[in-house]
Structure 1
Amino acid sequence: MIREAERSDKVQLYKLYKMLVPNSKKMNIQEEQIEIIKKNPYNFLLVYEEEGEILGTLTLNICLQALHGFRPYGIVENIIVHENHRNRKIGQKLLQYVEEYCKSIDCHRIMLLSNSQRLRAHQFFEREGYDGSVCKGFKKYF
């Protein structure tokens, strides 16, 4: 089942995020932030859950703009599937859920970034229809 994350998901989310960025010293998951995201109509912290266990997650942000009239766009971040449950179409189901939602609100595109070293993830995104040759991503951390 795909649903929005709850405050009580903090520990399971932490475990998933450690698989995504195992050496992060800045990771700081706050129950209050999960609640803030849940209440915001433009931001979604989604989880894929089976029998009480969270097996995957992603963040979807809906961004407003002026370029395409009233059509927003979506940004997917922090997509991760538990390493013991990969190749079960969990990531595909999460992305399909996001795509259906984005289409329902007339988004004109979905963007995502992936660490340049995550080659298997890149292959997965390309299989799902995302084109990694269209843009070059840039980040500046603070």
Structure 2
Amino acid sequence: MIREAEITDKDQLFDLYRMLVPNSKKMNVLEEQIDKIKRDPNNFLLVFDEKGKILGTLTLNICLQALHGLRPYGVVENIIVHENHRSKNIGRKLLQYVEDYCKSIDCHRIMLLSNSTRERAHEFFEREGFNGSISKGFKKYF
């Protein structure tokens, strides 16, 4: 089942994020941030829950813009499926959930970024209809 994360999911989210960024020294999953995201109508921390086990997660941010009238766009970040449960359509179901939601609110597009070295993930995103050759992503960390 796909649902919004609860503060009680904090430890399982931490474990998933550790798989995404195993060497991060800045990772800090906070219950109050999970709750803040849940209360924000434009931000979603979604989890794939199977009998109380969080097997996948992603963050969806709905962004307003002036370029396309009233149509917002979605940004997907921090998508990760538990390493022991990959190739079981969990990522596909999470992205389909996002796509269905974005269509329901008339989004113009959905974007996502992926670490340039995650080639297996890139293949998955392309199978799901995302085109990695349209844009080039840039990041600046603080």
Give the structure-1-normalised TM-score: 1.00
State the Cα distance separating 1:75 from its structure 2 match: 0.0
| Structure 1 equivalent of residue 46 of structure 2 | 46
| Structure 2 equivalent of residue 96 of structure 1 | 96
Whole-angstrom CA distance in 2 between matches of 1:24 and 1:96: 29
- Amino acid in structure 2 at the alignment position of 1:65: Q
State the Cα distance separating 1:134 from its structure 2 match: 0.1
| Structure 2 equivalent of residue 23 of structure 1 | 23
State the Cα distance separating 1:87 from its structure 2 match: 0.2
Tell me which stretches of 4 or more aligned residues in structure 1 moved more than 6 Å: none
State the Cα distance separating 1:8 from its structure 2 match: 0.3
Whole-angstrom CA distance in 2 between matches of 1:106 and 1:16: 30
State the Cα distance separating 1:93 from its structure 2 match: 0.0
- Give the share of equivalent positions with the same residue, in percent: 78
- Amino acid in structure 1 at the alignment position of 2:34: I
Q: Unaligned regions of 5+ residues in structure 2, if any?
A: none
1:138 aligns with 2:138: yes
State the Cα distance separating 1:30 from its structure 2 match: 0.4
For 1:111, what is the secondary structure of its paired residue? Answer: strand
Whole-angstrom CA distance in 2 between matches of 1:114 and 1:126: 12
1:65-116 deviations in whole A, cap 9, x for unaligned? 0000000000000000000000000000000000000000000100000000
For 1:136, what is the secondary structure of its paired residue? Answer: coil
- Amino acid in structure 2 at the alignment position of 1:91: G
Whole-angstrom CA distance in 2 between matches of 1:24 and 1:66: 35
Whole-angstrom CA distance in 2 between matches of 1:19 and 1:64: 31
| Structure 1 equivalent of residue 74 of structure 2 | 74
For 1:133, what is the secondary structure of its paired residue? Answer: coil
Whole-angstrom CA distance in 2 between matches of 1:117 and 1:3: 29
- Amino acid in structure 2 at the alignment position of 1:15: D
State the Cα distance separating 1:7 from its structure 2 match: 0.3
Whole-angstrom CA distance in 2 between matches of 1:65 and 1:125: 24
For 2:9, what is the secondary structure of its paired residue? Answer: helix
Q: Unaligned regions of 5+ residues in structure 1, if any?
A: none
| Structure 1 equivalent of residue 122 of structure 2 | 122
Whole-angstrom CA distance in 1 between matches of 2:14 and 2:36: 17
| Structure 2 equivalent of residue 83 of structure 1 | 83
Give the structure-2-normalised TM-score: 1.00
- Amino acid in structure 2 at the alignment position of 1:52: G
